Structure 1
Amino acid sequence: MQPSHHRCETVVIGAGLAGISTALELLEQGRQVLLLDALPRSQCGGQANDAFGGMLLCGTPEQRRNKVQDSPELLLVDWLRVAAFDADDHWGRRWAEHYAERNKADVYDWLRQRGVSFFPAVQWVERGNFGDGNALPRYHVAWGCGRGVAQTLVRRLFEHAGLSCLFEHRVLGLEMRNGAVVGCHGRSGAGDFRIEAEHVVVCSGGINGDLARVRVHWDPLYGPYPENILNGTDPRADGALHAQVQAAGGQVVKLGRMWNYAAGIAHPEPQYPQHGLSLIPSRSALWLDASGQRIGPQPLVGGFDTHDQCKRIGHLPGQYGWQLLNWRIAIKELAISGTDSNPHFRDRKLLPLLWQLATGNRELVRWMVERCPDVLAADTLAQLAEKMVALTADGRLDPDLLGATLARYDAGIRRGPALYNDEQLRRLQQLRQWRGDRVRTCAPRPILAAGSGPLIAIRTRLISRKSMGGMLTDLHSRVLDAHGEPLPGLYAAGEAAGFGGGGISGIRSLEGTFLSNCILNGRRAAQAIAGHA
């Protein structure tokens, strides 16, 4: 049987957010596009459909309404400090500079013009353990979450007559002629196919859904590869086209750089092996090691430095930790990252969301306690310790040490704010100064305070999420060869390209840099193809 043959001006491989943004920009420039994806059309939008939908943006009306005076220059200073670029990160740094300058116009304004809006309160994430993160609140949550962003753009995409689509078509390789990429080939349910194109844009995602590849590229900075690691990314996001790009002569760099999270829990209804959920961890909880001792000497507090949290959990005995808290803290502070875990954001229901912020998310915590195997609850600390011992079955927990750790912390709270001499309590006081955090952070009270129970313990593990390295691209999203020259005909965008330049975030993200750079990368590729870059 002969392969089916298609000809087009531009083929975009991957219908996630980067691919959608690339295709939409080309269509709006009057170009013809063939959009191709291994999944059904119903899953158009890819991983963005499941994302919470936060984006790092500066100079927006939302910031101004929150009395935040930000600038591209300040954003870039923060970015360069946390990224800690190596000398060979030339293009990652160039993309960071471009993003700092253009995120408002090329991402925020572009989305607003196409019907995407943002929650009015700007969040302050990744502040840094020593003030070395985001100097200001910049995290903008899209109304409708990631799925709302993706599907808003998808609806516009399918309005264009210049769009052709091939869903359930998996690309297996690139076509080469005279040193140029001139198309791709692969397989569908109907058989083999071959596509001939002037321009090929790879938007096929990163490697982090394939834990075997994560293991190969694991950086020992995070400790040995954790055998108990969870997977927060669909295994079909396996980076299979990275090798094909390398075979064509393109560079793939820095795959050991990943953006994982330290507060993963096992999914109660797993869809694939080691399927996990990524918590937005409680700030008021005590984060303990396997023995029941507080992780320290500097306490682990969520929202300050995700990179550091992963390093510290990865080096613990057993490579897991415990968050110890109570019902009062859990209903106010606990959340799960993702679209469907945040239905009021997803469904754009402002009044129910405000009520939930004021009164607590009892439904979520009740579901976690009843369904999630890593979430335990008990009326007394002794009963909770028994459950913790039974869950891990590794003999590491010392119930007496657990009790002493909690008693010491609670005693510090009882002395009153004037005598707080604990770094976590100081951070909680700082968090509560910003209105976006005050509504999600409890005023300090002893964890064993009467009427605050039941007690809750959550076993946390590392969870694989995003690739921060990838195909090396210039500012036109052209893939570069071993000599640093553009490989004719080949472009890459989104996670496949490390969100720009093979690693726009260096070793550490300011958070919210992933969805937004899928859009920026894709638009830059389209503008270069259309001759407007």
Structure 2
Amino acid sequence: MRDGRTEGDATHDAIREPTGDAIHDVIVVGSGAGAMTGALMAAADGLDTVVLERTALLGGTSAYSGAACWLPGTQVQERAGLGDSTDAARTYLRALVGDTGPDRREAFLRHAPELVARLESDPAVEFEWRAFPDYVAAPGRMDAGRSFVPRDLPQEELGDLLPLVRPAVDRDRAGQGHPDGPLTAGRALIGRLLLAATRTGNTTVRTGHRVIGLVTEHGRVTGVEAETPQGTVTVRARRGVLLAAGGFEGDDALRTEHGVPGAAAWTMAPPGATTGDLLRAAVRIGAATDLLDEAWWCPGTERPDGSAAFTLGLRGGIVVDAAGRRFANESLPYDRMGRALATAQAPAHLIFDSREGGGLPAITVPPADPEEHLASGVWVKADTLPELAERIGVPAGALTDTVARFDGHAATGTDPDHHRGEDPYDRFFADTRNAPGPNPCLVPLDRPPYYAARLVLADLGTKGGLRTDVHARVLDGAGDPIPGLYAAGNTSASFTGRVYPGPGVPIGTGMVFASLAVRDMTSPGALPASGITSGATGGARSTVTAPPARD
């Protein structure tokens, strides 16, 4: 994969904005983890590859993420001595998903170890295991977790590619660039994949390209139409087009049409990045869809500007509905808590006391400024529980009774109502320093003043989309592949159905099926019999689009 280059070689000849119509071997639409994996695999195979990104920055929601990669049975878990295996993951997935989509499940399990070995053969790509439990108690589960993350990436290794990588969510929403220090988590994953892809010499990156249509010739997809600041251009592909630019979580009209609860304002995707253009374009040429009412759910703490912060890992507090009652185990994995939130009587609030000095006893992405949230009214504060209940519009007696009952559970260490603290995932985030009782997940609310933070149903992206097969080929209504068209990540319908098995499943599955798409593009049977000439350009050096530098 190193293409004969050393780590010190320049990654590209120039940073410039390619414009106008063009032809490449492979078109990759999107720039998240799945898209960049597909681009790297194609470029490493010697194919002239172009990445088309709608926005000015690469990475999408992947860049905001913790970059957990749920890829079972690989050399990363082996190095960590976990005892994970493909068979254990198969048992786990069967227990959760059943026999729905067994062919895609098996394709994922077979290819994951091979993909990781190939990625790590490039010096730019390094992973390490980090504890994070699988989400569901089922056979084959890894209580310590089987997902892994990229190693931190020093900024100097990226050089002038750095401004292309989307910053962390809090800085990105504030219009700021990267802080000093290495790139971590999702930024490190995108940076490493970008670095490896550009070092092949076969990668072109075009930002500011909004793909709005697919070009077909004799029933085969041969390119895309994209809106750019310079006008509409046609980009053509000799081998295939991979759609991997997220779902439609950022489009309220599509959410309403397909019954996806929540709102575009509450999704964790970058603003304006995921409006369903690819879904619409593929459906226009006959593509089939599935799971369009689904998303990767999470609780969201409402922010002063009306957006939401991904909220997980509660260390204390309780969540109540509009009746002032608990309705779920607040320590559930975020997708399952999101599903509980979707059926609860709205609005819901996280109730907490002053045990952490007025700070939220949870992780929020982006972080929450208590004073700012209190000033805006999305958080409220009161000296007593009846006063707090009045301020958030719930029955005072119900809230007082709920807290008293929960405090009793904290004293005994058991939660007969919702079983909080009984699962390894619950205890993963517990802070024993703030838990005086026997169960660190049950922390009493006994230190006034009290607070209430408004919760909304947020998401990490929709998980329904184009139907695909084991090669990531997009299928039509009859179940036949549409020649030349592939999809991965949230542009496709997840084979995990309505279940979120563990941390990094969206990223891991996106990476695997993007790689499988490229493998199919390079197989003899996938090449067009006539028309567009196949073959790589050979000696082309990589070019990238650089956005204006940000502070």
Same-fold call, TM cutoff 0.5: yes
Aligned 1:18-57 pairs, distance under 5 A: 18-40=34-56, 43-57=57-71
1:204 Cα deviation from its structure 2 partner: 2.4
Match of 2:332 among 299, 303, 311: 303
Is the 1:326–1:447 contact (alpha carbons within 8 Å) kept by the matching residues of 2? Answer: no
- Residue 314 of structure 2 is matched in structure 1 by 282
Structure 1 gap ranges (5+): 220-224, 342-363, 390-396
Deviations 1:488-519 (A, max 9, x none): 21122221123xxxx21111111321111221
**1:60 and 1:240 mapped to 2: Cα distance?**
35
Match of 1:156 among 196, 199, 202: 196
Task: Indicate how the Cα distance of structure 1 residues 59 and 124 shifts in structure 2: closer, same or farther if over 3 A, else same.
Answer: same
Task: Indicate how the Cα distance of structure 1 residues 197 and 62 shifts in structure 2: closer, same or farther if over 3 A, else same.
Answer: closer
After superposition, the CA RMSD in angstroms is 3.3
1:475 Cα deviation from its structure 2 partner: 1.9
Structure 2 residue 201 is matched with structure 1 residue 204? no
Q: Which amino acid aligns with 2:25?
A: E
Deviations 1:300-335 (A, max 9, x none): 23234734x334322333x33222233436869510
Is the 1:187–1:193 contact (alpha carbons within 8 Å) kept by the matching residues of 2? Answer: yes
- Residue 520 of structure 2 is matched in structure 1 by 528
Provide the secondary structure at the position in 1 that maps to 2:21: strand
- Residue 172 of structure 1 is matched in structure 2 by 212
Provide the secondary structure at the position in 1 that maps to 2:235: strand
Is the 2:90–2:140 contact (alpha carbons within 8 Å) kept by the matching residues of 1? Answer: no
- Residue 302 of structure 2 is matched in structure 1 by 266
Q: Number of residues paired by the alignment?
A: 466
- Residue 254 of structure 1 is matched in structure 2 by 291
Structure 2 residue 156 is matched with structure 1 residue 140? no
**2:255 and 2:329 mapped to 1: Cα distance?**
25
- Residue 410 of structure 2 is matched in structure 1 by 413
Structure 2 residue 421 is matched with structure 1 residue 428? yes
- Residue 356 of structure 1 is matched in structure 2 by none
- Residue 110 of structure 1 is matched in structure 2 by 119
Structure 2 gap ranges (5+): 1-18, 152-183, 527-551
- Residue 259 of structure 2 is matched in structure 1 by 218
Provide the secondary structure at the position in 1 that maps to 2:519: helix
Provide the secondary structure at the position in 1 that maps to 2:63: helix
1:279 Cα deviation from its structure 2 partner: 0.4
- Residue 105 of structure 2 is matched in structure 1 by 96
Task: Indicate how the Cα distance of structure 1 residues 278 and 177 shifts in structure 2: closer, same or farther if over 3 A, else same.
Answer: same
1:486 Cα deviation from its structure 2 partner: 2.0
1:177 Cα deviation from its structure 2 partner: 1.1
Is the 1:288–1:324 contact (alpha carbons within 8 Å) kept by the matching residues of 2? Answer: yes
Q: Which amino acid aligns with 2:470?
A: L
Q: Which amino acid aligns with 1:98?
A: A
Match of 1:466 among 456, 461, 470: 461
**2:404 and 2:257 mapped to 1: Cα distance?**
43
Aligned 1:361-440 pairs, distance under 5 A: 366=370, 370=374, 373-389=377-393, 397-414=394-411, 416-417=412-413, 420=414, 422-424=416-418, 427-428=420-421, 430-431=423-424, 436-437=428-429
Moved over 6 A (4+): 64-67, 329-332
Task: Indicate how the Cα distance of structure 1 residues 442 and 100 shifts in structure 2: closer, same or farther if over 3 A, else same.
Answer: farther
Is the 1:324–1:458 contact (alpha carbons within 8 Å) kept by the matching residues of 2? Answer: yes
Q: Which amino acid aligns with 1:504?
A: F
Provide the secondary structure at the position in 2 that maps to 1:514: helix
Q: Which amino acid aligns with 1:182?
A: T
- Residue 239 of structure 1 is matched in structure 2 by 276
- Residue 126 of structure 1 is matched in structure 2 by 135
Task: Indicate how the Cα distance of structure 1 residues 133 and 213 shifts in structure 2: closer, same or farther if over 3 A, else same.
Answer: farther
Is the 2:75–2:117 contact (alpha carbons within 8 Å) kept by the matching residues of 1? Answer: no
Deviations 1:268-308 (A, max 9, x none): 3x4xxx5211100516432211121222xxx423234734x
**1:24 and 1:175 mapped to 2: Cα distance?**
24
- Bigger fraction of residues in helix: 1
Q: Which amino acid aligns with 2:408?
A: A
Q: What TM-score, normalized to structure 2?
A: 0.75
**1:523 and 1:226 mapped to 2: Cα distance?**
32
Task: Indicate how the Cα distance of structure 1 residues 487 and 447 shifts in structure 2: closer, same or farther if over 3 A, else same.
Answer: closer
Deviations 1:326-354 (A, max 9, x none): 343686951024xx65xxxxxxxxxxxxx
Provide the secondary structure at the position in 1 that maps to 2:241: strand
Q: Which amino acid aligns with 1:478?
A: R
Match of 1:316 among 341, 344, 354: 344
1:67 Cα deviation from its structure 2 partner: 6.7
Task: Indicate how the Cα distance of structure 1 residues 182 and 120 shifts in structure 2: closer, same or farther if over 3 A, else same.
Answer: closer
Greater Cα offset, 57-66 or 245-254: 57-66
Q: Which amino acid aligns with 1:230?
A: W
Is the 1:323–1:460 contact (alpha carbons within 8 Å) kept by the matching residues of 2? Answer: yes
Provide the secondary structure at the position in 2 that maps to 1:150: helix
Q: What TM-score, normalized to structure 1?
A: 0.77
Aligned 1:53-68 pairs, distance under 5 A: 53-59=67-73, 68=82
**1:368 and 1:60 mapped to 2: Cα distance?**
44
1:99 Cα deviation from its structure 2 partner: 2.4
